[in-house]
Amino acid sequence: MQDNVSPRNGKTVKQKRPAKMRFIPHEEISSPRPILCEPLSMLELAVLRLSPVYYGLGVPAGDGSAVVIIPGLLGADVVLFELHAWLSRLGYRPYVSGMGIAADCPHVLARRLEETIRRAYAQTNRRVHLVGHSLGGVFARSAAVRMPDHVASVITLATPFRGLVVHGAVLALGNLVRRWIRARYRNVPEWCGTSRCSCAFGRSLGRKWPSSVAQTALYTKDDGIVDWRYCLTGDPLSDVEVHGTHIGLIFNSDAYISIAERLSERPGRRISKTVTRPRHRRKVRAALG
């Protein structure tokens, strides 16, 4: 509230200040994103292959920790083959999610991911890192909340975990997946696959983030599918901006640099959020215009 003096009678009038825009957790809202720019993700793959980062040069080496990588909506583990191979070259022990195609009941997919995390934890005798792209980041965050003793950190790539504000075509695709889920299982509630679902996965979306699990949110303002503002944690040290497309973040060299830096962090040590582009990276950008 603020006090204003009326120009007519000189009396003090109480006026409400305009309400600040706030995030609506897990709300589904259609957003007119520039989705036609997403095919440029193939250019990001080409730039990655030309970059020394692709061969593990100029980034921190791995320490043998397990890293489980999780695909987005309708994605499969094979889609993340470049990231999987790159993590292996760095010296990490990458694991596919084991979820299959991400188009099933979220509770079923979350259980499969949980099995993979437990296996990776048992085989490495240390807490596991999770890297999730888009919807895969939501599964990663859910697993971290439910299994904080097994998860060391979560890195999300263009994941709208603060609210599902995405292109209308993606919302329509999500509704088709939900109808398929209901037709397959028949006894699931109509809100299966939404934040209103009362399964363990649905309940985890509203739980408090565990302080023992580090989190990093990579986002791009050029995202053609989701509203990048809903991909942020709100902590400037956890939110990292890179330049690229939504799809292309799975093979974006700037994203790879940030992933390597964050995976190499140790408790009590924070690496700057700024992405430093090596000289060779700037030359490639200049060559591509």
Residue 261 predicted with pLDDT over 90? yes
CB 132 within 8 A of CB 155: yes
Q: How far apart are CA 79 and CA 27, in angstroms?
A: 27
Give which of 98, 69, 99 is closest to 85, Cα–Cα: 69
In a domain, 8, yes or no: no
Q: What's the mean pLDDT in 260-268?
A: 83
In a domain, 216, yes or no: yes
| pLDDT mean across residues, the chain | 82
pLDDT top residue among 191 and 250: 250
CATH number of the domain residue 174 falls in: 3.40.50.1820
The pLDDT tens digits for 134-183 are: 999 999 999 999 999 999 999 999 999 987 777 777 777 777 877 777 77
In a domain, 101, yes or no: yes
In a domain, 255, yes or no: yes
CB 113 within 8 A of CB 143: yes
Count of residues in the chain: 289
Q: What's the whole-model pTM score?
A: 0.79
In a domain, 71, yes or no: yes
Confidence at residue 15, expressed as pLDDT on a 0 to 100 scale: 44
Residue 188 predicted with pLDDT over 60? yes
CB 106 within 8 A of CB 197: yes
In a domain, 263, yes or no: yes
Among residues of the chain, what percentage have pLDDT more than 90? 55
Q: How far apart are CA 252 and CA 273, in angstroms?
A: 16
Phi-psi region for residue 237, left (φ > 0), alpha (ψ -120 to 50) or beta? alpha
Phi, psi (5° rounding) for residue 9? -115, 0
CB 149 within 8 A of CB 97: no
SS3 at position 72:
coil
The encoded tokens of residue 63 equal: 């320490």
The pLDDT tens digits for 216-227 are: 999 999 998 999
In a domain, 2, yes or no: no
For strands 214-219 and 151-157, give the pairing. parallel
Domain count, the chain: 1
Tally of CA atoms within 13 A in the half-sphere of 271 that contains its CB: 19
The stretches of 37-105 forming alpha helices (DSSP H) are 41-50, 81-90
Q: How far apart are CA 191 and CA 182, in angstroms?
A: 9
Q: How far apart are CA 278 and CA 106, in angstroms?
A: 40
Residue 43 predicted with pLDDT over 60? yes
Q: What's the mean pLDDT in 185-189?
A: 73
In a domain, 1, yes or no: no
Give which of 101, 77, 217 is closest to 159, Cα–Cα: 217
Range of the domain at 164: 26-288
